[in-house]
Structure 1
């Protein structure tokens, strides 16, 4: 089994290399993000052990570029950063596991074996509706070739609407599926975020795909002529 270790702590990286070699693994080591990304894309590995704090290119960027390049090699983040948001960000970008330093070497070995048995993950299907695309893995949203920057809440709303495209969804359904069950605010928040989303995916492109069905809810459809509203829907 071939492993890539990307870590700028040379003493630790060498200790991991020796330990994994003794366990029967073939191990390559890189000490910066640029070299690590090059190695991961130019060679075939069963698992990549990736630090977050790297010179030249940090681990987040390495991971992001790997996944954008459709490289699904299992990645275990091996880092001293133990914050819950650090871990959440890593998983959002496509990490498969996360182990904080200092760590137990036997645990590391067992996690590597677990990832290798799992193999490269099947890439989640990209959602496409007309010229609008949403990648559930990278959370990247495009209208044609134009990237659209959206917040996590807007992303959740857009993903739900795209999965229910051409269907009328009510405010209650959106609240139940996009907001936390403990949310105690009014349903007007849905209108607010519909407006935010419309201002990003439609207005700049002269489109009217996210429409309000008066008295019922909302519907997201493929690109249409903004001057030709459907008989069932209209914007507020």
Structure 2
């Protein structure tokens, strides 16, 4: 889906062919793009370019991606940061989240998945770019914290709202329980992962999703929302 909202994306990677590939694809999607080969250039450029989303490689020369993320978030708290890492290690994920990262992708990744993550971050953190977001049978209004399903306003608790919004905005993406906990409950949540199952069960009841066609369970992987 083409983007016509002038959303700005800053790409940070020291590999020119990756920057070129991502820039070409995102420009084709209608985004305004700036690129940086290292962290210091990215931080300086962010002040002028004011990106909505930063796609940031962890392994960049000089100042690494973690320190770059910290400085970018200090410069603009609303700026969404998606970190790219070659290692899917829990320590890297937690470290990035503690420094303000909003999402992460493990290399190698598909362009379509990165595009989906960018769109999700924009809808989640910059709803004013879109107003009310319509996704399949859902309409999300973040200003009113209201979700309409099949023309029916859902009666949701604050946590149910946050969880359903996260699942719907990331439709088509498999989300593990740990990733959901980080996004909805926070990386410092000290409870059990099973709380996700409890809330998913409640959402399925409110959506009349008895056959789990909307919120699918992928055994050993997590959950995925499939929109009709």
**Which residues of structure 2 form unaligned runs of 5+?**
1-6, 128-187, 193-228
Which entry has the higher C-alpha Rg, 1 or 2? 1
Partner of 2:40 in structure 1? Answer: 34
2:12 corresponds to 1:6 = yes
Matches within 5 A, 1:61-140: 61-119=67-125
Task: Compute the displacement of 1:72 (Å).
Answer: 2.4
For the residues of structure 1 that align with 2:88 and 2:99, how far apart are their CA atoms?
Answer: 16
Structure 1 residues 26, 180: CA separation in 2 closer, same or farther (over 3 Å shift)?
closer
Structure 1 residues 65, 179: CA separation in 2 closer, same or farther (over 3 Å shift)?
same
Task: Compute the displacement of 1:178 (Å).
Answer: 9.8
Structure 1 residues 23, 89: CA separation in 2 closer, same or farther (over 3 Å shift)?
same
Partner of 2:60 in structure 1? Answer: 54
For the residues of structure 1 that align with 2:74 and 2:113, how far apart are their CA atoms?
Answer: 29
When structure 1 is superposed on structure 2, of 4-13 and 75-84 the one drifting more is 75-84
**Which residues of structure 1 form unaligned runs of 5+?**
122-176, 182-236
Q: Contact conserved, 1:73 with 1:120, CA < 8 A, in 2?
A: no
TM-score, length-normalised on structure 2?
0.51
TM-score, length-normalised on structure 1?
0.49
Note the alpha carbon deviations across 1:119-165, whole angstroms, 9 max, x for none: 269xxxxxxxxxxxxxxxxxxxxxxxxxxxxxxxxxxxxxxxxxxxx
Task: Compute the displacement of 1:87 (Å).
Answer: 0.9
